[in-house]
Structure 1
Amino acid sequence: MKLTLKIKLLPTAEQAELLLETIRETNTVCNAISDVAWSKRIFNNFKLHHEVYHVYKSTFKLSSQMLVRSVAKVADAYKLDKKTKRIFRPLGSIAYDSRIMTYKTDNIVSLWCIGGRQKINFVCHNPAYLPYIKGEADLVYKKGKFYLFQTVDVHENDVEDVEEFIGVDFGLTDIVVTSDGVKHSADWINSYREQKQKVRSSIQSKGTRSSKRLLKRLSGKERTTATIINHSISKSIVSSAKEQGKGISIEDLTNIRFTSKRRNKKFRTKLGRWSFGQLRSFLTYKATLNGVKLVAVEPRYTSQTCSSCFHIGERKNKVFKCTNNKCEVDVVDADENASKNISLLGISVNNPERCDMYSCSVHY
């Protein structure tokens, strides 16, 4: 499985200036190549290389391989859309491959820069993935710091066939509720988001230069916090499933923002910030790496169906009430009930021959 490893560089002041100069020069070359590609309608990597290589090799200060990577970057940009001319930001990311980037021992990476190779210290919070480095890396400059987004090819464990599944119910009140009784509340992250929104609104109302600089400095913190929480939740769910020898069953919430009932502005704002897609992607790749089976099921009526008798009941906010007089279940937590239904649906999807287990008798 191919993943992206985030590596933070720790350059000296002199090295930082060389990196910035290299980034600016490379993006200047990319814009020059884009001008040629757009004017002559040459979008093929091979043809574009022969068109610009010798001219720009003598004009700009880039090495041969860095120029090759710049041509490839422009060609890849036009693969998406040939109707719009591509313009590259002065401090946009640039690509490195094994010919102009080498990883050394003691957390040192050697990068080509204008003025010669630079050996730069780095820190990585996932050092276990370093032996699996393979392919290109993107050098990114963000908020005064340099990062390498390195591609790694990690060995996948064989996915084991399982009979039981842990049902995972995604929600706004509780981020996740599992069928084995684990809850991850959203109270803290919701209050954190509301607080950050008040701060942003207060700063935006001023409209001064310093307020705009402050907004730029604060941007991304809320997203980073939510990402860390999603990583922690997905890791705990996958670890629990692996220990119990079970699979993971989740809801397929694609297009939920368009199919959900439109309520007040506050609810729509909360729904828009709901990062269920990111949590699903984290669960997917972590489950694959650990050899845990993961299936996605239809979420319709999972929170309105009784997990005991499978009859449609009544749900109001966090409370579910079964309307079947013969059922022993009276009032339960709606998300816990939904997670159990998702678990049973996971078994049905994984074992189609057992689909009759999720059915109920008809009463008149």
Structure 2
Amino acid sequence: MIVTEKSIARMAVVLRSDLMKLAVQVKLLPTPEQASALEATLHACNQAASHASRVAFAQRVMDRNGLQRVVYAELKAAFGLSAQPAVRVVKKVVDAYATLTANLRAGKLGPPTSRRHRKAVGSPVVFRADAAQPFDDRCLSWRYDAQAVSVWTVAGRMKGVRFVCSPDQLKMLVLHRKGESDLVCRGGKWFLIATCDVPDPEVREPVDWIGVDRGIVNLATTSDGANYQGRGLARYRRWQARKRAELQAKRTRSATRRLARRAQKERRHVTHVNHRISKEIVSVAQRTGRGIAVEELGGIRERVRLRRDQRNTFSSWPFRQLGLHLAYKARKVGVAFLEVDASHTSQRCPRCGHTERANRPDRDHFRCRRCGLAGPADVVAGVNVRDRARSAWVFVTAPAPAP
């Protein structure tokens, strides 16, 4: 059993958090006049944000108070923004540079010598004309009974903008909405994305664990033997890749727009698949009183060397999203969730502990060279994840030593 300090810290963070942030997306149904006002507002806010970004980059003023002192009056006079929207624009710019700095420190934009890194640090952040714009409660108010919002625009306060959502989403908004809401235009349709602070239910003491092994051929395999194959998703992605190649060969503006729509459609499909898998696993864990354990796979793309023909498949592997879905769905219903060390889970015998690469002669099969235990390789990996969670739970729930 291997439990790293990093994995224990991740587990402890999950257990100590008492609030879970969930995003609720509702669809707006504006009239043509309201839609024109919303579009003009987005364009004005993003033009103002790009201007503030250029000032921040040129003067190296990246803190909120400092940048607001420099650009606040100009944003109101030149771009037609009211006081609070101007403040939101400044915060949006400061947050963008904070995110850029964090990504640079984490190495997500490559080494300092790379072209991507040099481009990121050598030019100011630019905001698209239709980029999302945050609004706080002074700029946007909700009327849940009428399912409408009142929102500030450059054409004045726009009241009675209708929205639609499911009953569960409306209940979530009424009970837990807090903070900013983002106005988004996507494909000519308008959405509001609201942040909800949902109190975590008490995590129940698990009677046992479900180990989940994530993979490419099999997206998820549990220690119970449930197998969620990735064959259909792989076939769908190959078909999408062929269509992308056909559209890219045309090199027209229409083809470019269709490529963007196809990319969004593919992302939605992958998200739906991960939602379905995670929902089934969490429902089984909730019904049986068990916790859910997965392998800690952070940084795996940097650790693994691949052949050229494997790189596209591996880079588009949605394992992280599946892990996030499992984590938040488990927390939402009070199911314990752990990440455990991933080393040798598919090569270790869960009965005798013998670990050897030859224990897995091919991708699908496992056979221990010492005791002869045999079975599907992914199920064996899930059993090893489950066993590690049993041991790791002792570390997480142990009382802290007295000072």
Structures share fold, TM-score greater than 0.5? yes
Q: Does 1:316 align with 2:357?
A: no
Q: Deviations over 1:183-222 (max 9, x none)?
A: 1111111110111111111221222333223213322211
Segments of 5+ residues of structure 2 without an aligned counterpart are 1-19, 102-120, 397-403
Contact persistence 2:346–2:360 (CA under 8 A) = no
Contact persistence 2:360–2:377 (CA under 8 A) = no
**Hey, what does 1:51 align to over in structure 2?**
70
Where does 1:245-264 land on structure 2 (aligned, <5 Å)?
245-264=289-308
* DSSP-derived class of the 2:23 partner: strand
Where does 1:93-172 land on structure 2 (aligned, <5 Å)?
93-104=132-143, 105-118=145-158, 119-125=160-166, 126-131=169-174, 132-172=176-216
Where does 1:191-210 land on structure 2 (aligned, <5 Å)?
191-210=235-254
**Residue 304 (structure 1) shift:** 1.6
**Hey, what does 1:65 align to over in structure 2?**
84
Contact persistence 1:314–1:323 (CA under 8 A) = no
> Take 2:197 and 2:216, find their aligned partners in 1: how far apart are those partners?
34
User: Rg: which structure is higher?
Assistant: 1
Contact persistence 2:26–2:165 (CA under 8 A) = yes
* Between 171-180 and 31-40, the greater mean CA deviation after superposition: 31-40
> Take 2:73 and 2:301, find their aligned partners in 1: how far apart are those partners?
51
**Hey, what does 1:28 align to over in structure 2?**
47
**Residue 120 (structure 1) shift:** 1.4
> Take 2:29 and 2:188, find their aligned partners in 1: how far apart are those partners?
11
* Between 20-29 and 125-134, the greater mean CA deviation after superposition: 125-134
Where does 1:189-338 land on structure 2 (aligned, <5 Å)?
189-265=233-309, 267-312=310-355, 313-324=359-370, 326-327=371-372, 329=373, 331-338=374-381
* Between 82-91 and 12-21, the greater mean CA deviation after superposition: 82-91
Q: In the superposition, relative to structure 1, how do residues 264 and 98 fare at CA in structure 2: closer, same or farther (>3 Å)?
A: same
Q: Deviations over 1:100-159 (max 9, x none)?
A: 111112321211112222221222343342121100011122221222221110110111
**Residue 12 (structure 1) shift:** 1.7
**Residue 87 (structure 1) shift:** 2.5
**Residue 54 (structure 1) shift:** 3.5
Contact persistence 2:209–2:291 (CA under 8 A) = yes
Q: Does 1:85 align with 2:131?
A: no
> Take 1:212 and 1:237, find their aligned partners in 2: how far apart are those partners?
38
* DSSP-derived class of the 1:167 partner: strand
**Hey, what does 1:187 align to over in structure 2?**
231
TM-score scaled by structure 1?
0.89
> Take 2:62 and 2:220, find their aligned partners in 1: how far apart are those partners?
46
Q: In the superposition, relative to structure 1, how do residues 53 and 300 fare at CA in structure 2: closer, same or farther (>3 Å)?
A: closer
Identical-residue share of aligned pairs (%):
36
Segments of 5+ residues of structure 1 without an aligned counterpart are 354-364
> Larger relative CO (CA 8 A, sep 6+): 1 or 2?
2
Q: In the superposition, relative to structure 1, how do residues 268 and 54 fare at CA in structure 2: closer, same or farther (>3 Å)?
A: closer
Q: In the superposition, relative to structure 1, how do residues 236 and 12 fare at CA in structure 2: closer, same or farther (>3 Å)?
A: same
RMSD of aligned Cα (Å) = 2.1
Contact persistence 1:156–1:289 (CA under 8 A) = yes
